[in-house]
Amino acid sequence: MPILRRTLLTAPLLAWLPSHATAAGKTLQVGPTRTIKTIAAAARLAGDNTTIDVDSGDYVGDVAVWTQANIHLRAVGGRVRLRAQGMAAEGKGIWVVRSALFTVSGFDFSGAQVEGRNGAGIRFESGHLVVRNCSFTYNEMGLLTSNHPQAVLEVENSEFAYNSRPDGHNHNLYIGQIARATVTGSYLHHAKTGHLLKSRAAVSQILYNRLTDEAGGSASYELEFPNGGVATVVGNIIQQGPLTENPILISFGAEGTTWPVNQLYLVNNTLIDDLPSGGTWLRIKPGADAVRAVNNLLVGPAALQTGTPGDVRNNFNIARSALDGYALRPDSPLVGKAVDPGSANGQSLQPQREYIHTARTGALGQAPHNPGAIQTVKPSAP
């Protein structure tokens, strides 16, 4: 099935992520007609503060390890398609990244398989990784991080789908015990047994994404924070498919809250339960310091139960027939029923953007006024 592509606690929590400019340095050009033919060769030649422009096309078995600081790889003239074809850097995946700052945009990672069955499009081990407008498909793991306590991951406008391995212990996006992870404007779908998104980070910001299992998907959790931490989940479309292997959409602290601060903020999301027997929106194990669930749309009959004390208000059950795509119909009695969700850790929880299919976001023209993820009454796409 083809994949369609288009196209912090130190910053305002729900603002669009800033661009990371590469410091002045040299630029390398890679492509079949260039002096540097392969990305692997560019990885060996690059020093710190290097921009690498890669001509569009297929790069087969072109695996690399990145340790330099402030590297920016960008696709030129179209998509750059990385096909593993049995090759893996350090036996881990297509790319292994250990970089103080590493940015990649416009690349498609597929086919990573390794002996340990954790073959990833990118294995991120330390530093700061920014992934923009990329896709991760048909790998054993889409993107997999280490447990480095100072590592920071940012994923923007990217797609994760059809990543699987025979024993089922796979995830489209698996974030380890790192300092911070931000996932924005991304489309995660069609997991097989594993989760759509799993984060063990101390701080997880999951903003304006579409996490939908869809027809044929068999994800376990759609979204899981097994070790708690501070999880801010705002403006997402999250759907549990009929073939799910776990009736819970969102799980928090299932393996114990191991971080010093453990808080969950679930604001202006649209949650859809397509499990015929009915599922559970949210499961929170004891140990959470704060729970707030406000302005969520629940497409299904079950009530939103947190299992722990918290601020749970202004959440509405609605039938799928009452939606236009994932947005409220113009004549819905819920139009205008959103309330101010307040702030957390000194930052507003009100959405600033909304998800637009496929894998991007748009700024809101006015303050959010509807419950759910989509504020535009007529969405741009179903």
Q: Is residue 257 part of a domain?
A: yes
Give a yes or no: residue 22 inside a domain: no
Q: Please write the tens of the pLDDT for every residue from 118-176.
A: 999 999 999 999 999 999 999 999 999 999 999 999 999 999 999 998 776 678 999 99
Per the structure, the count of domains in the chain is: 1
Is 132 among the domain residues?
A: yes
Would the pTM count as exceeding 0.85?
Answer: yes
62 inside domain = yes
pLDDT tier, 378 (very low <50, low <70, confident <90, very high otherwise):
low
Please check whether residue 158 is in contact with residue 178, taking contact to mean a CB–CB distance below 8 angstroms.
Answer: no
For the domain that residue 154 is a member of, what is the CATH number? 2.160.20.10
Question: What pLDDT band is residue 194 in, cutting at 50, 70 and 90?
Answer: confident
Rg (CA), the chain: 20
Query: 50: which strand partners?
Result: 71
- pLDDT at position 292: 98
Assigned domain for 4 exists: no
Residues present in the chain in total: 382
The answer to whether residue 306 is domain-embedded is yes
Over the chain, what is the mean pLDDT? Answer: 92
Tell me, what's the pLDDT at 18? 39
Residue 88 inside a domain? The answer is yes
Q: What is the pLDDT of residue 17?
A: 41
Q: Is the pLDDT of residue 36 over 90?
A: yes
Between CA 282 and CA 280 the distance in angstroms is: 6
Q: Distance between CA 232 and CA 349 in Å, rounded?
A: 8
Strands 71-83 and 50-60: parallel
Residue 86 confidence (pLDDT): 97
**Residue 139: which domain range?**
30-363
Q: Does 9 map to a domain?
A: no
